[in-house]
Structure 1
Amino acid sequence: MFLIFGIDTVKKDIPYDKLIICSRCGRYGRYNIYMLCKCFSLFFIPIFKWDRRYFVEASCCGALYELNQEVGDKLRKGENIEIRDKDLVYVGNNNEWTYSKNTYNKRCVNCGYIAQEDFEYCPKCGQKL
C-alpha cells in the first residue's frame, strides 16, 4: 500500500472590491487580500490547514500589510466588512518581500539578496533589512 502525503504552503486569494485611499501614498487604490497557510494533504486532497496568516497589498503603491487574524477570518467566510487602518500592520513594500515554499522572506533593497524573515541584517552586504 502506498501513502502519498505532503505538507505545503498554500496561497488563497480573498475577494475584496472596495475602493480605498492609501494611508501610505494618499492615492486611490484597492486592497488585494490573500491568505497563506500550511496544509497537510493526503493523496493530493487537503486534510487540514494551520498557521493562517492574512496579507493585504495596496494596488496603488505596493505597500504590504499583515491583516488582523479575526478580520481575515471574517473576510474569508464572505462577510462584508470594512478594513480599517488599525487592522493592518505595515510589513514593507511588496518588492522587498518574496514568498518561498515554506517560509516568508525579505529581499535586501541594497543588493537584492533574499534573506529569511527573522534576519535583521543582510548576510551578504550587512545592510539593515
Structure 2
Amino acid sequence: MFFIGVFGIGNKNKNLGEVNFKCTGCIGEKFSLVELSRSFDIFFIPVFKYSKEYIIVCNKCRSVYKVKGEKIPKILNTKIVEYDDIEKIILETNTCPHCGTSIAGEYLYCPKCGKSLK
C-alpha cells in the first residue's frame, strides 16, 4: 500500500469461491477464483476499486491462469471455467498426478514414483 498524507493506493485480493477447470499441469479440477484489484484509499478505507483482473489458482499444483473479464458473470453462475475463458497462462506447474511431486522438464515418467505422466 502506498500513501501520501491521507490518500493512498492499495492492492486488494478477494476470493470469489471455488470453480471447476481441468488443469493442464496436474489434471486437477478444483480451482479458486480470485479478483485482483487496485483501490483508492482515504485513511486506509477503500473508496473505490479500479483495474480489476481475475485469476484462477489450482488448489493442487498452484498453477495460475488469467480469466477473460467478460466471462466472469457466466463463470460465477455456472462455477465452471472452460479453456475459451482463459486469456493466458501466468504460471504452470507440472506435477505427477499419482504422487504430487513437482516436475521440472519434459519427462515421460515421474522421477519419484516411476509412473507414466501421460
TM-score relative to the length of structure 1 = 0.57
What do residues 73-98 of structure 1 show as CA deviations (whole Å, max 9, x unaligned)?
x279x53342101111211137xxxx
| 2:26 maps to 1:25 | yes
Structure 2 CA distance for partners of 1:49 and 1:19, relative to 1, 3 Å: closer
Deviation at 1:22, TM superposition (A): 2.2
CA contact (8 A) 2:21 2:82 kept: no
Q: Which amino acid aligns with 1:93?
A: E
Corresponding residue for residue 70 of structure 1? 70
Q: Structure 1 10/75 Cα, relative in aligned 2: closer, same or farther at 3 Å?
A: farther
SS, match of residue 83 in structure 1: coil
Q: What is the Cα deviation at residue 70 of structure 1? A: 1.5
Instruction: Please say if 1:13 is aligned against 2:12.
Output: no
Distance 1:55 1:20, change over 3 A: closer
Give the structure 2 partner of residue 36 of structure 1: 36
1:45-124 pair list within 5 angstroms: 45-72=45-72, 74=73, 78-88=76-86, 89-93=88-92
Residue identity opposite 1:4 in structure 2: V
* Consecutive unaligned residues in structure 2, runs of 5 or more: 94-103, 105-118
- Give the RMSD, CA atoms, in angstroms: 2.6
Aligned-pair CA distance for 1:51 = 0.8
Separation in 1, partners of 2:16, 2:46:
18
Whichever of the two has the greater Rg, that structure is 2
Structure 1 residue ranges (4+ consecutive) displaced by more than 6 angstroms after TM superposition: none
Q: What stretches of structure 1 of length at least 5 have no aligned partner?
A: 95-108, 110-129
Q: 1:25 & 1:40 partners in 2: Cα distance? A: 38
The answer (yes or no) to whether the contact 1:14–1:75 under 8 Å persists in 2 is: no
